[in-house]
């Protein structure tokens, strides 16, 4: 991939860009997934990741090694919050009010060998779970996504979110409990 970040002026710049690519590229899918869950808009998520990469590149000289994934995810998280705040200001809405994800994002290829009724039930359950996750307060949602989808450790999540490990554990417990309650509530309405 060729980087569109200007003309290279020295071998040191080229080496720095190559090192940056080596750090960032393995984690781009995770970065996009986090951005998408936080901003709830696939197009804005792409912009967030692009802006995060630019920010990361500009601050890469100060990166001292360590957990590359947590470093990038923290930049993505902060960039996502900045984008949400800017969008809320431009639309005159509170930061906690956003559009939902594309319905197409929830669609999934169904195995033709599956029972059609079972496939519809699974799709409905996945859609209900996604809506329940999206309805979580953002601080609970980000911890849940980082732990369950990105499979990060408590320590990595604490680094990314800037809160103590105990707070991460508490937020995960509350997120899981809220999801469980909402899914059970939805099931009782369906019965």
Residues in the chain: 191
The count of other CB atoms within 10 Å of the CB of residue 129 is: 15
Q: 153 near 181, Cβ under 8 Å?
A: no
190 or 95, which is more confident = 190
Q: What is the pLDDT of residues 22-68, one digit of tens each?
A: 888 889 999 999 999 999 889 999 999 999 999 988 888 777 777 88
Report yes or no: 127 and 106 within 8 Å, Cβ to Cβ: yes
In order of their start, the domains of the chain are 1-99 (1.10.1740.10), 111-191 (1.10.10.10)
- Residue 91's pLDDT is 73
**89-136: pLDDT as tens digits:** 877 655 443 344 444 344 444 455 567 777 778 888 888 888 899 899
| Residue 24, pLDDT score | 85
Across 99-123, b (16+ Cβ under 10 Å) vs e yields: eebeeeeeeeeeeeeeeeeeeeeee
pLDDT band at 84 (very low <50, low <70, confident <90, very high): confident
Average pLDDT over residues 164-171: 96
pLDDT band at 178 (very low <50, low <70, confident <90, very high): very high
* Contact criterion met (CB below 8 Å) for 108 and 76: no
Burial (0-12, 13-18, 19+ Cβ within 10 Å), 65 = exposed
3-class SS of residue 92? coil
């Amino acid at each position: 991939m060729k980087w569109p970040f200007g003309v290279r002026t020295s071998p040191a710049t080229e080496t720095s860009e190559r090192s940056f690519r080596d750090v960032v590229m393995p984690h781009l899918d995770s970065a996009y997934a986090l951005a998408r869950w936080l901003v709830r808009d696939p197009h804005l998520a792409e912009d967030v990741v692009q802006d995060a990469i630019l920010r990361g590149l500009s601050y890469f000289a100060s990166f001292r090694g360590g957990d590359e994934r947590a470093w990038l995810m923290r930049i993505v998280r902060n960039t996502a919050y900045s984008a949400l705040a800017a969008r809320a200001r431009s639309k005159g809405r509170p930061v906690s009010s956003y559009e939902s994800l594309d319905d197409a994002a929830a669609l999934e290829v169904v195995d033709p060998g599956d029972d059609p009724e079972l496939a519809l039930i699974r799709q409905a359950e996945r859609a209900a779970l996604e809506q329940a996750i999206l309805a979580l307060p953002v601080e609970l949602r980000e911890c849940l996504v980082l732990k369950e989808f990105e499979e990060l450790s408590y320590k990595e999540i604490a680094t990314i979110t800037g809160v103590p490990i105990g707070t991460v554990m508490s937020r995960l417990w509350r997120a899981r409990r809220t999801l469980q309650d909402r899914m059970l509530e939805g099931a009782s309405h369906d019965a």
